Amino acid sequence: MLKSRYLCGGSVMAVALALGGQAFAQQASTVEEVVVTGSFIRGTPEDAALPVDVIGADDLARQGSPTTVELLKALPVSSGVLGDTNQFDPRAQGSEGSGSVNLRGLGAQRTLVLINGHRMAANPFGQAGAGIVDTNIIPSAAVGRIEVLKDGAAATYGSDAIAGVVNFITRKDFSGLELNGSYRYVDGSDGDYDGSIVFGHAWENGNILLSAGYQHRSELPTTERDWASQSYFNNPEGGWSAGNAVAPFLPVTNLPSGAFTPAAGFALDNGCASLGGVVQGGALPACFFNFIPYDNLVEKEDRFQLYGEANADLGDNAQLHVEVFYSETDVPEWKTSPSYLALQTPTASTNPTVGQLPASVLAGYFVPASNPGFIAYRNANPTQIPAFATGVHIPGVRYRPLSFGGNPAFDYGPSEGRRHYDAFRVSGGIKGQFNDAIGYDFALTYGQETGVRTGYDTVVSRFQLALRGYGSLNNGTAGGCTAAETNNFTTNAGNTALGCYYFNPFSNAIANNTITGQTNPNFNASLANNPELVRWFFQEV
C-alpha cells in the first residue's frame, strides 16, 4: 500500500484595490467579490488581469452535468487528460481509476488542483509518484463553480503551478435538498450512471453544506471499437508483440562432458498462423501476437464521495470555514494481457543451460525432452527438432507463457488486477479584513490518499521448474512437488502422484484464440495446461 499525505499551514496578506471597489459601486447590478484564483487580490474573475475562466453551476447544467474527466477533457486549454483507462500511457500506468488535468500540455504535475483555494494530497501512483492530484475524488455534487487559471502561478503557489491552476469552489448559498441522477448510454458497454444528494442551509451569518455522490462506469472493451485494434499490416505498432506463447525455439543436446550445445538452428512453433498470429522469418523468427483485444478502453469503476462544509461569520471582519471529505474509488477488475514478457530469466539453479549456450541465442528457458508437449510436438514435426536433441531453448525476448489462449487462471481471458484508492481531507481557516485595504487568510489543511494496486506476473524460477516437470498445483498440499522431488532434477519429474506437473509451452496445448475464435488443428486436450499449475507460477504482485 502506498500513501500520500499533505499538510499545509500558513498565512497570506491580501491587498484589496480601492479603485476596483469604486468601480463595482458604480454598477447597477450586484457583482460578487471573490479572491481571484492565481492571486490573492480581491475582485472578480472578469476584472482580473490574469486569464481566468469561470465555469458556473448553470454552465455545468447546460453541458449535461459532465463528469470531472469529461469536463476537463472539454477545456480548450487542456491537453492529455488521463482518467479513462491510463494503462496505455506510460506516465500513468498503475493508476487506473484516477484522473488528472494537464493545462497547456506542460504535464499534470505542473498543474495545481485546489478545492476552495487549498491544496489536495497527491495520488500515490500518479505518473510514477510525480505528485499529481486525482481529480476523480473531487466531490462534484458539492461544486458550485470552477475557476481555471490559464497562466503560470508559480510566484503565488510554487513550481507545481507553472502550467496553471484549477480551483474547484463549493456551493456557499445553497439551501434545501437536491437529488440528482443520470444514466449515459455507451455503445458496447452497460452504460454509466451516477447519483447524488445535497443538503444545504444558509442563514444570515453562515451556511452548512452536506453532499454524497456515487458514480459508476461500465467496462468498455477494446474489441467494441474497430479503431482500437488494427491488423498487423495496418498498424504493426498497435499492440503487436513478438513475445508470445507460440515462440521460436533452439534444439539443444548434451556433449559427452554433459554441457549443452545447439543441435540445430532456431525454428518457430508451427501453430502461429492457425491461432491468428503473424509469422516473421529470419535467424530468430517470431510470431506476432496482439494483446490489445485483452485490454479495456474504459475499466469498470465505482466511486463514492462524502463532503461536509460549514461557514460562519465571527463578527464584522472574520469568517470561519471548515470542510471535510472522504472519497473511495474501486477498479475491481482491471484487465490486461494474459501474461507479460519477463524482465528476468531463470538462473542456473533451475535452468541447466545457463552459461553454456552462446550469448547470441539470448537468455531464456529450457524445456527437456521429457516434457509431454515436447514429445508430441517433435513426433509431429521431426524436421524441426532432431531425434538426438535433449531439449529446446526458448529465448526470453520472444516468449510469454500465456497469449492466444488467454489465461487459464482467469477463465481463459485476460489477466486481472485491482486498483483501490481512499482519500481523506480536512481543512479549516479564518479570514477577514483589518481595513478596506488589508486582509488576512489563515488556513490549515490535512489530506491523505492511500492506494492499493494488484496485478499478476510470472515467477520465472517456478515457471522454469514447471517446464522441467517440477511444478506444483496452487491448491495442492503445502510445498507440493518441491518438497517431494530430490532436488537433483533426475527423479519424479511429472510424477503427479507426488504433486509434480509439467507445463507445456508448445502450441499443441492451446485450443483456440479466445478473441477471434480461430481453432488450433494441432490442439491435444491431454496436453492442455492445468489452471492450478498456472496459478502456482503466475502470482499476485
Q: What is the pLDDT along the chain (541 residues), one digit of tens a residue?
A: 555 554 544 433 333 333 333 333 344 444 455 555 554 555 555 555 467 888 887 777 777 667 777 777 777 777 766 666 656 666 667 778 888 888 887 777 788 889 998 888 887 776 555 567 888 889 989 998 888 887 776 667 767 778 888 899 999 889 999 999 999 999 999 999 999 999 999 998 999 999 999 999 999 999 999 999 999 999 998 899 999 999 999 999 998 888 899 999 999 999 999 999 999 999 999 999 999 999 999 999 999 999 999 999 988 789 999 999 999 999 999 999 999 999 899 999 899 999 999 888 889 999 999 999 999 999 999 999 999 999 999 999 999 999 999 999 999 999 999 999 999 999 999 998 888 778 888 999 999 988 898 999 999 999 999 999 999 998 776 667 876 675 678 788 999 988 999 999 999 999 999 999 999 999 999 999 999 999 999 999 8
Q: Which of 298, 89, 86, 82 is nearest to 189 (CA)?
A: 298
| Strand partners for 421 | 329, 451
Query: Which amino acid belongs to residue 25?
Result: A
Residues 6 or more apart whose Cβ sits within 8 Å of residue 327: 137, 138, 139, 303, 304, 305, 306, 421, 422, 423, 424
Which residues make Cβ contacts (< 8 Å) with residue 359, sequence separation at least 6? Answer: none
Please return the burial class of 475, using the count of CB atoms within 10 Å of its CB with bins 0-12, 13-18 and 19+: exposed
> Residue 509 corresponds to which cell in the numbers above?
496445448
Single-letter code of the amino acid located at 210: L
C-alpha 502/C-alpha 496 separation (Å) is: 9
Q: Look-up: residue for cell 510470472?
A: 458
Place of cell 493508476: 95
Distance of alpha carbon 210 from alpha carbon 202, whole angstroms: 12
Cell numbers placing 317 = 471582519
Spell 73-94 as b/e; 16+ CB within 10 A means b.
bebebbbbbbbbbbbeeebbeb
CA atoms lying within 13 Å on the CB side of residue 360: 6
Q: Long-range pairs for 309-316 at CB < 8 Å and ≥24 separation?
A: 309/142, 309/170, 309/208, 309/209, 309/210, 310/206, 310/207, 310/208, 310/209, 311/172, 311/206, 311/207, 311/208, 312/205, 312/206, 313/205, 313/206, 314/430, 314/432, 315/432
DSSP state of 86: -
CATH number of this structure's domain 52-218+298-336, picked from the four choices 2.170.130.10, 3.40.1380.10, 2.60.40.420, 1.10.3720.10: 2.170.130.10
| CA 473 – CA 537 distance, rounded (Å) | 9
Looking at residue 12, its pLDDT comes to: 39
For residue 531, the SS3 value is helix
| Cell output for 278 | 503473424
C-beta of residue 155 within 8 angstroms of C-beta of residue 482: no
Whether the Cβ atoms of residue 4 and residue 121 lie closer than 8 Å to each other: yes
Count other C-beta atoms under 10 Å from residue 28's C-beta: 4
pTM of this structure: 0.83
Q: Start-end ranges of CATH 2.170.130.10 in the chain?
A: 52-218+298-336
Nearest CA among 484, 518, 490, 524 for reference residue 504: 524
What torsion do the CA atoms of 325, 328, 329, 333 make, to the nearest 10 degrees? 180
Q: What is the rounded CA–CA span in Å between residue 32 and residue 18? A: 16
Q: For the purposes of burial, counting CB atoms within 10 Å of the CB of 66, is it exposed (0-12), middle (13-18) or buried (19 or more)?
A: middle
Query: Vertex 540, ends 331 and 525: CA angle to 5°?
Result: 105
| Measured CA distances, 429 to 44, 294, 432 (Å) | 22, 49, 10
Distance CA 23, CA 134 (A): 39
What type of residue sits at position 443? Answer: A
